[in-house]
Every structure is written in structure tokens, then in C-alpha cells.
Amino acid sequence: VSIATVSRVFNESPRVSEKTRIRVLEVARALHYQPHVSARSLANKRSDLVLAVIPMLTNYFYMEVVRGVQDSLADSDLDLLVYTAQAPEQVDGQLKRAMQRGRAEGILLFSTPLNESRARRIKQGGQPVVLVDSQHPAFDSISIDNKSGAEAATEHLISNGRKRIGLITGNQASIPARVRRAGYEAALQKAGLAVDPSIILVSEATHQHGYTEKVGFASMNRLLHMSEPVDAVFVASDIQALGVLRALREAGRQVPGDIAVVGFDDIQISAYVGLSTLRQPMYEMGRKAIELLLRRIEDPTLPIEHLEFEPTLIVRETSGHRASLPDQA
Amino acid sequence: VSIATVSRVFNESPRVSEKTRIRVLEVARALHYQPHVSARSLANKRSDLVLAVIPMLTNYFYMEVVRGVQDSLADSDLDLLVYTAQAPEQVDGQLKRAMQRGRAEGILLFSTPLNESRARRIKQGGQPVVLVDSQHPAFDSISIDNKSGAEAATEHLISNGRKRIGLITGNQASIPARVRRAGYEAALQKAGLAVDPSIILVSEATHQHGYTEKVGFASMNRLLHMSEPVDAVFVASDIQALGVLRALREAGRQVPGDIAVVGFDDIQISAYVGLSTLRQPMYEMGRKAIELLLRRIEDPTLPIEHLEFEPTLIVRETSGHRASLPDQA
DNA sequence: GTGAAAGCGCTAACAT
DNA sequence: ATGTTAGCGCTTTCAC
């Protein structure tokens, strides 16, 4: 019963005889011995910890991503330390806290646009970082192709025979909001349809970047009171789309008869209300994020990688396939 | 520029002159010096970590509780380590992993019924543990009063003038499922109504203890095909209630006209579909859980505390107040 | 294959 | 008010 030997046993060193190995293990169990994590990590210079900095964990999108993260992590001996904010403004604080803890194997940073100062601070930490749902040239990232998603949504509505398609989206301070708008406009132009700014409703709200049920409700009502009515709306987020549907219901409009609606995100509720939308492969993104992070931890010299997932169009009741007239745009 | 002094500065010891304090801080910042967490915690014998073992983090209930937990933690200097399972069977594994990490300040164990062997193993760990959404005499716990909630739901239906109230609940292996049933029966008896086993539908499913949309759908259909129809259903979980509502819709029944429905949990979707239900104060439970844990950490000799929250009835559209006939039961 | 000993970066008691 | 020193519990050369 030595001491270095015990260490060797617990680290599965081959340089220990089967006999003593078993003996040590037995005694350890009898004594309820547990190697001390901090001491290990001090001697090792590794922490077995992955940090996740998440705005609004309470969001279905993040939950699902975290589920993927956890599943991936389960195969390794890494544990997950979660820092959540209640609002984007708090992200910086949580990030600082996470970086202070330092010495984590790596950090997953969710949905946080990186300006140069932020990027520099993070680089300085010297820890591997993977960006989830945002991008920056200096870091590995996992994101989704918002533009092509928005295009797909809009094209779907066009091929449904819709002629006047409105857009309801979030605050243009949000990058996804801008990109989704770009995709919408691109699809219209590709189809030779006019882009009419009067039916593009961009939220001015800062709370949640305007991605709320309320904003959707109000925006749809504005759209309804316009002289030249729309026959479809692409709503850049499902949560807003819920408000849109409520406005339509209260106004007595048929969906998709009078007006078709397509959202974005495929949050959990969407399936229940029959909302057509674009699904992001959230779980897969979580798995991939850890994969990227582990790869980077193993070899920090690897070239930076940007993975972009394609959202997939889910057609439900709010945008049923219309008896399509021959398309003579 | 000493060394112990630096330590003192970072631990805000009063025994250091303002002058050197500032000088140390400056140099530290210039050098990007960060105290090493593992070394601290080794010397300190404290880890600044709280562990949470959660089955199915991806569940709205847990998310909300975790939100409360995180908010409470934000005021302290503790961080949250999350262990999630994908299924109750995995909880043991995750719990073991959590206990192995050991040396956490404390553990929050969610929704995990403790048999004696499990309880003993946990006690052995010697760490403060707070049970959330379960109970055991040997540990502090936070739970909700399922019985009185179920009673409230049933009484609400009775006072609505409903005469024949069915019950749809989960697998009786689940304690909440059993307790909610007991509450339902108690309320009926109190009102002098008969308890009819033929309209009490208990799920046999093991997956999620039968708390799924599918099970709700199937159960309601069975209820619909009985000779003596019900005029109300108390569904012991909102997720099942969603299935119930779908079954009703597909059968062309009016809600609450023909049949009233009350769920339990108040998951996020419930507000959108107008489901009457019982809300658990999830966020508050999270905050309280940390409060209890911190108290216990500070003074392990404190008497064990069991906090029981009352769920509150939320009346929405699926159980509108009927023009109530004079109650002459 | 096993033990002795140095050291990981910090804290805390002690000394000054 | 500051420096010196002995651990905290482990890993890891380096001997044997």
C-alpha cells in the first residue's frame, strides 16, 4: 500500500501489477476513498470542465442544444458548468465570471455577437472557445444559415401562389434578424416580386430584440390595417408568429385561407399550433459544438472552422399547399 | 511585490495597506494574472461549486427551477455544475458522477425518489443535499403539495357544475401520479360524488411515466367511447392534457361546453392553448432550494426542513365558469 | 513494478 | 502591514 501506486491505479497506468491494482481498488472502496478533484487538477493542470455561457437558458432552443452538448460530454470525462443570463446585457458579466474561473478545458459561448473588444478579451483568456449561434473569424463556430432559411420560407410561400408577402422580424440590431430579412428580400427578387418596405415590419423593441409574442401581435395588426392587404407573412421567429396567429384569429381571418404564415425556429409550441416553420437542428448543433471544442482542445493549431447548418422547412397547417395556379409571375 | 500579500489582496483581507493593494491589483491586471481556481480550492478546502442532478433538463419545469437557482447563485460566488440525464434510468449514473466529483459545496437533486439504498449512498457522500420535487426524511426538500393541487382542480370542476369527472394520470409508479389521484378522489368524496374506477385512467407506460401527449390522446379516446360519458376530466399533467384536447377536437366535442378539462403543471404551451391548470411556483422553488442549501452549508446541524409549495389554480378557457346551477348535489 | 520526493499555485499560521 | 514557511492531495520524474 504505497501512495504513488494508488495514483497510478486511479490513472490506469499500465506500470502496475494486476495484483496490487485489485488490492488498491478494494481498499479504496472499503474506505470510500475518492481522489480529490482540485488536487488532481492542480497537479494535472487540467480541470475536466467545459463552460457554457448562455443567455436565457430558459429558451427551448438553448435547452435542446444543451441536451446535445450533455450527450456528447457524457462520453468524455468532462463536466458542464453553466452560466446563464436573464438578458443579453448580463452575458458580459457571466462571461467575465466564466473566464475568471479560467483553467476550464474550453468555453461554449452562445448567441453572443463578438465585437472586437469582446473578441480580444476572450482571445486573451487563451482558452479554446466555440461560438454557438454566432460567428467571428477568430473562433470556431456553429451557426445556422439564416439567409437560406429565410429564402426557403419565402420561396415556399411564393410557390404556394402568394403574391404579396409581408415580413415581420426582430430588431435589426440582431444579426439573425438582418440576415433573415436579406433572405426574404433575395427570394422575392429572385421570383421577380417587388420588395415593398411598407410591409416589412422591423421591431424597434430592445427587450428580446423584439422577438416576443406581443410584438408579433402588434405587427400583424398593423399589417391588417393597411390599405393593400397581404396574403402571406413570413415571421422571422415562431414566438412572434404566435402573436401573429392570435391577431389573425381575433380579426377573424382564415389561416392559411386568407393569409398564410411561416415562422422560424420550430419552438416546441409550434407543432401544437400547426405553425409552418424552419427547424434548426438544435440537438445536432450541441453535439457538434462539443466535437469542435474537443478537437480544438486536442490540437489548438488546427485551422478555424465555421460550421453552418441548414434549417429545414416544416410545412404544417398555417401554410398548406394551395391548389397551385400555374406560376406565370 | 511579495506573494502572500497578493493572496491577501485577492481575498480582500483587511490586513493590507491601501497602497500596496492598488499596486498589486495594477500589476495583476497588466500581467493578466488570474488566481488558479484548483489551487485555491485545494488550499481552501472549498470548491465554489453547486451541483444539480436533473432528469431531462429539457423540461420546462426544470428549466424554470434552474432559472431560479441561477438567479440565487448569482448573488453568491458559487457556480452551477449541471448533470442531466435523458431518462430517469440515467439519473443514478449522473448522481454517481456528481458524488465522485465530490467536494462540491452542495448538491441539488431533482425529482428523484429516494429508496433507502440510494439515501444511504448519498448520506455517505457527506455533502449537503437538497431534494427538489421529492421528499425523504433525511434530507432538506422542496416540493409541491400535489394532493391539495389535485383537490383544487377537482373542486373547481365540481363547483363548475360538473357531475361526472374523469381522471387521466401517469404511471402509478410515480409518486406525484399517486398523490394527485388521491387528491382527486378526496375531492369527489368530500363533495359526496362517487369515485368510479372505470373513468380513472392510469397509464401503464414507463416512458416518462406515461406523461406524454400520446398517452393523453389515447386515454381521452377511451373515455369518449364509454357508455356513460364524462362531462369533465382532470388530467394530472398538462402534456397529457394537450393530447386530451386533441382527442376532443378530433371527436368534435366542445371544450368546455361538452367537456371541461383541467391540467397540472402550467407548462409554457398551456397559456397558448388556453388550458386551465395548476401552476407550480417553479422559479420560486429554485430560489428556495439554493436558500436551503446555503443555510445547510453554513450550519450542517440545522434541523431538516421540508418546504411544501402550494400550486395555484389558473382558470383559462378549457374550464370556463359555467352558468352555475344551484348546487344541490 | 514500486517507492521517494519534488512541485502544481495557493492559503494560513507564524514571525517580524 | 508584509514576508516566510508549511501544508492542501495529487502527479510525475527519478531511483531502485
Rounded alpha-carbon distances, angstroms, from residue A244 to A230, A305, B42: 13, 37, 55
Place of cell 444543451: A66
Rounded alpha-carbon distances, angstroms, from residue B125 to A37, B46, B119, B284: 14, 15, 10, 27
Is B83 in the A-facing interface, judged by CB distances under 8 Å?
yes
Residue of chain B nearest A56, judged by CA positions: B67
Contact of A233 with A202, CB cutoff 8 Å: no
- Determine the nucleotide nearest to A4 by Cα–C1' distance: C3
Is B76 in the A-facing interface, judged by CB distances under 8 Å?
no
Which whole number is the average pLDDT over A136-159?
Answer: 97
Give the separation between CA A127 and CA A304, rounded to whole angstroms: 14
Contact of A175 with A143, CB cutoff 8 Å: no
* Set of cell numbers at residue B156: 373547481
- Cα–Cα nearest to B113, from B137, B97, B96: B137
Which whole number is the average pLDDT over B97-122?
Answer: 88
Note whether A268 contacts B269, CB cutoff 8 Å: yes
- Cα–Cα nearest to A86, from B113, B215, B287, B137: B287
Contact of B217 with B246, CB cutoff 8 Å: yes
Residue of chain A nearest B56, judged by CA positions: A67
Which whole number is the average pLDDT over B164-187?
Answer: 95
Give the separation between CA B146 and CA B130, rounded to whole angstroms: 19
Note whether B79 contacts A71, CB cutoff 8 Å: no
Residues of B in contact with A37 (CB under 8 A): 38, 47, 101-103
| Chain mean pLDDT for chain A | 91
pLDDT bin (cut points 50, 70, 90) of residue A227 is very high
Is B101 in the A-facing interface, judged by CB distances under 8 Å?
yes
Rounded alpha-carbon distances, angstroms, from residue B159 to A93, B167, B233, B329: 51, 17, 14, 10
When scoring A38, A94, A268 by the number of chain B Cβ atoms within 10 A, the one with the most, hence best to mutate, is A38
pLDDT bin (cut points 50, 70, 90) of residue A316 is very high
Instruction: Give me the pLDDT at residue B325, please.
Output: 39
* Set of cell numbers at residue A154: 419565402
User: Is strand D less than 7 A from the beta carbon of A16?
Assistant: no
Residues of B in contact with A67 (CB under 8 A): 57-58, 84, 86
Give the separation between CA A248 and CA A244, rounded to whole angstroms: 6
pLDDT bin (cut points 50, 70, 90) of residue A6 is very high
- Residue A280: phi and psi, rounded to 5, are -95, 140
Asked if the model's pLDDT at residue A327 lies above 70, the reply is: no
Is A70 in the B-facing interface, judged by CB distances under 8 Å?
yes
* Set of cell numbers at residue B107: 448538491
Say how far A117 CA is from D3 C1', in Å.
39
**pLDDT tens-digit profile of A271-289?**
888 999 999 999 999 999 9
Residue of chain A nearest B62, judged by CA positions: A58
- Cα–Cα nearest to B164, from B237, B228, B226, B219: B228
CA dihedral A125, A66, B60, A311 (to 10 degrees): 110
**pLDDT tens-digit profile of A295-312?**
999 888 999 999 999 999
